[in-house]
Amino acid sequence: KQEVTQIPAALSVPEGENLVLNCSFTDSAIYNLQWFRQDPGKGLTSLLLIQSSQREQTSGRLNASLDKSSGRSTLYIAASQPGDSATYLCAVPAGYTGNQFYFGTGTSLTVIP
């Protein structure tokens, strides 16, 4: 069974700092990886979906990279803002069909003004 790990569990940075969130997975035979943001008490918002054939995907100040062979993905946030404070989760599908997903437990980010 796929295991997804996110370290650290919590991160606190001053506003304006660039930061990297990590996601690792045990089974490298994945077809894509998705990064989400979750605000307290709310649902998950999709940030980026990176296909296995891609190495990077960018959206605004966010950049996600994927290294299947090493079982790792990173989410880079440039010039962090207090509004970026949230929990960030990564997820990978189980198998080819993508009909089931495995989630990490997330990294709780606090950006201090």
Partner 1 sequence: DVKVTQSSRYLVKRTGEKVFLECVQDMDHENMFWYRQDPGLGLRLIYFSYDVKMKEKGDIPEGYSVSREKKERFSLILESASTNQTSMYLCASSLASLAVAPTGEQYFGPGTRLTVT
> Binding residues for partner 1, per CB under 8 A?
31-32, 34, 36, 41-46, 49, 51, 89, 91, 93, 96-101, 103-106
Which stretches of the chain are assigned E, i.e. beta strand? 4-5, 10-14, 19-25, 32-38, 44-51, 56-59, 62-67, 72-77, 86-93, 101-103, 107-112
> Least distance to partner 1 from the beta carbon of 97, Å?
5
CB-nearer residue toward partner 1: 76 or 102: 102
For residue 10, the cross-strand partners are 108
C-alpha 30 chain-centroid distance = 15
CB-nearer residue toward partner 1: 14 or 43: 43
CB-nearer residue toward partner 1: 76 or 103: 103
Distances (CA, A) of 11 to 1, 7, 58, 67: 28, 9, 22, 23
Residue 91, token pair as written in the block: 């997820």
CB-nearer residue toward partner 1: 26 or 100: 100
